[in-house]
């Protein structure tokens, strides 16, 4: 698995993946077209893959695929910076956006893919509390 399309093609159809993780077919099709899966969905995709017996789909693999998407890690300076840039591109709304009131929950730096997953879960927990 070298890119997002390889991950998404593990499911019979985009609609099947959408049903497995609770998103619409157009959303999955847009991810395939963009070549990017928002980090907010990585945990759901990994869980859905495990339910289907696809053990090679992990948050680390998703993070590496998205880091490679930045063309080359050398331009970013490090894997860490590439991961941060990928997360910023896909997940962080612009200032003044719909979720700007949650700015205090955002982190600008992640050392590992697990930190991204933990952060996303914290955001979901905060959303559920509200």
Domain count, the chain: 1
Segments forming the whole domain that contains residue 8: 4-129
Tokens representing residue 12 in the block:
């019979």
Tens-digit pLDDT string for the chain (130 aa): 788 889 999 999 999 999 999 999 999 999 988 888 988 899 999 999 999 999 999 988 888 888 776 654 445 455 555 555 555 544 444 444 555 555 555 555 666 777 777 878 888 888 888 7
Q: How much is the pTM?
A: 0.55
């Amino acid at each position: 698995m070298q890119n997002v399309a390889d991950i998404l093609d593990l499911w019979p159809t985009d609609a099947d993946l959408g049903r497995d993780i609770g998103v619409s077919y157009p959303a999955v099709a847009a991810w395939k077209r963009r070549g990017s899966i928002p980090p907010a969905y990585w945990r759901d995709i990994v869980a859905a893959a495990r339910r289907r017996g696809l053990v090679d789909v992990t948050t680390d693999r998703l993070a590496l695929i998205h880091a490679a998407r930045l063309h080359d890690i050398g331009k970013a300076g490090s894997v860490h910076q590439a991961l941060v840039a990928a997360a910023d591109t896909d997940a962080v709304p612009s200032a003044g956006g719909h979720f700007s009131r949650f700015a205090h929950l955002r982190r600008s730096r992640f050392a590992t893919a697990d930190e991204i997953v933990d952060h996303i879960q914290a955001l979901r927990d905060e959303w559920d509390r509200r």
